[in-house]
Amino acid sequence: MNSPTPTDDQLSWQDLQAHALWWGRLGYAIFSFFWQALWKYWKLSFGLMILFGLLQIARLYGESQEFEMTSTFVYGDLHPKVFGDMIAKANTLIANRETEQVSQLLALTPSQVGKISSIKVADSRGKSLVDNYTMNKEPMIITVKMSAPIPGDSLQTAINTYLNSNPFSAKRLDMKKRLLTEELSFINNKQATIDSVLKRLYEVPPVQNANPDLGAINIENSEGKNAYDLLRFSRELVQRKADIENSLVQVENVFAIDNFIVLPSARFSLGSIIKKGIIGGIMGFMLSAVILLWRIHLGPWIRNLDES
C-alpha cells in the first residue's frame, strides 16, 4: 500500500515551527519597542503619562461637582417622537440660556433653571427619541444634568407638567378624561338598574312566605337564569369601574414610574482617583509610543520611499 504523497496545501512541522517563531519574534519586537519607549525615552513617556493622569483626575473632579437625575417615564399610546422633540427643544433653550422661556415651560424658578446644564431623553437602548419613527411603546429615560442640586419633587412636577402640556397631547388628555367620566356615569346608572331588578327578583311576596319553595329563585327557572346573568354582568361592571377609577387617579399622558433622586455625576474617592490615574497613564504611554513609532520607524521609512 502506497503512502500518500504530501501536497503543497498541507502544513508540515517545519511550517508550524516557522509560523510560531515568526509570532514570537513579532511579540518580542513589540515588547522591546514598548520597553524602549518607557525607559529610553522616559522623559516623554512619563511626562505624557503624568499629564493625561492629571487630566483624567481633573475631569473626575469636575464630574463630581455636577449632579444628575435619571428617571423612567411611560407615555401610553402616544408617539415617542413627540416627547423626543419636546425635550430636544427644551434642551436647546437651556443651551441658549433662554432662562425665562424655560422657566415658563417647566414651571421652575429662574434660579432653578440656571442650575440645569442639559436635559435629554432616550429609549431603553440609549437611542434618542428625536429620530424614533416607530410605534414601539417602550419606556423613555430622561436625564437631567445640573451644576447644583434641585429638589426631586420640583423636577418631577416640572417634567410632568411640560410633557403633558403639548397641545396635541393635552387635547387627547381632555378627551380621555371626558370619555372615562362618561363611562363611569354609564356604569353607575347600569348598576343602579341591575340592583333594582335583582331586588324585585329576590323579593318573596308575603302570601308565599308560608311555602318557602313557592316562588323561590334557582338556576333552573327563568328568574334564576336572569339573576345569574345579571350578577355576572354586575361583577364585570364593578371590575371595569375599578379600572376607570385607577385611570382617573393617574390620568396624565406621561408619568414617571420611579423615584426622582438627584446624585453627583461621579464620586471623587480614592478608588476613583487611582482608577482615573491609571487610565490616564495608559493613554499617555500609548500616545508616547505612537509618537516614537512615527519618529523612529515610520518617518524614516516614508522618507526613504520618497527618495527612492
Which pLDDT belongs to residue 308? 62
pTM strictly above 0.75: no
* DSSP per-residue letters across 219-280: TTSHHHHHHHHHHHHHHHHHHHHHHHHHHHHT--SSEESS---EEESS---HHHHHHHHHHH
How many angstroms separate the CA atoms of 266 and 100, rounded? 30
Q: Which 3-state string (H, E, C) describes 53-110?
A: HHHHHHHHHHHHCCEEEEEEEECCCCCHHHHHHHHHHHHHHHHCCCHHHHHHHHCCCH
Which pLDDT belongs to residue 55? 94
Q: What are phi and psi of 228, to 5 degrees?
A: -65, -45
How many angstroms separate the CA atoms of 156 and 107, rounded? 11
Which pLDDT belongs to residue 12? 76
Rounded alpha-carbon distances, angstroms, from residue 147 to 111, 141, 142, 143:
12, 20, 17, 14
Phi-psi region of 211 (alpha: psi -120 to 50; beta: other; left: phi over 0): beta
pLDDT digits (tens, 9 = 90+) for 111-124: 898 899 999 998 88
CA dihedral 117, 121, 124, 129 (to 10 degrees): -150
pLDDT digits (tens, 9 = 90+) for 211-221: 555 455 544 44
Which pLDDT belongs to residue 9? 59
Topology of the domain comprising 63-164+256-264: Alpha-Beta Plaits (3.30.70)
- The tens place of each residue's pLDDT in the chain, 308 residues long, gives 454 555 555 667 777 888 888 888 888 888 888 888 788 888 888 899 999 999 999 999 988 888 999 888 887 667 788 888 889 999 999 999 898 999 888 888 888 988 999 999 988 888 888 877 777 777 889 999 998 888 888 888 888 888 887 777 777 777 878 888 888 888 888 888 888 877 776 665 554 444 555 455 544 445 555 677 778 888 888 888 888 877 776 656 677 788 888 888 888 888 889 999 999 999 998 988 888 888 777 766 666 666 66
Domain range summary for the chain, segments of one domain joined by +:
63-164+256-264, 170-204+211-251
How many angstroms separate the CA atoms of 188 and 226, rounded? 20
Sequence-separated (6 or more) residues with CB below 8 Å from residue 169 = 78, 82, 163, 253, 254
Closest by alpha carbon to 197, among 160, 167, 234?
Answer: 234
How many angstroms separate the CA atoms of 125 and 156, rounded? 23
How many angstroms separate the CA atoms of 48 and 41, rounded? 11
Q: Retrieve residue 112's grid coordinates.
A: 432653578
Q: On the CB side of 294, how many CA atoms lie within 13 Å of its CA?
A: 5
How many angstroms separate the CA atoms of 231 and 57, rounded? 71
Which pLDDT belongs to residue 220? 45
Contact 102, 90 (CB under 8 A): yes
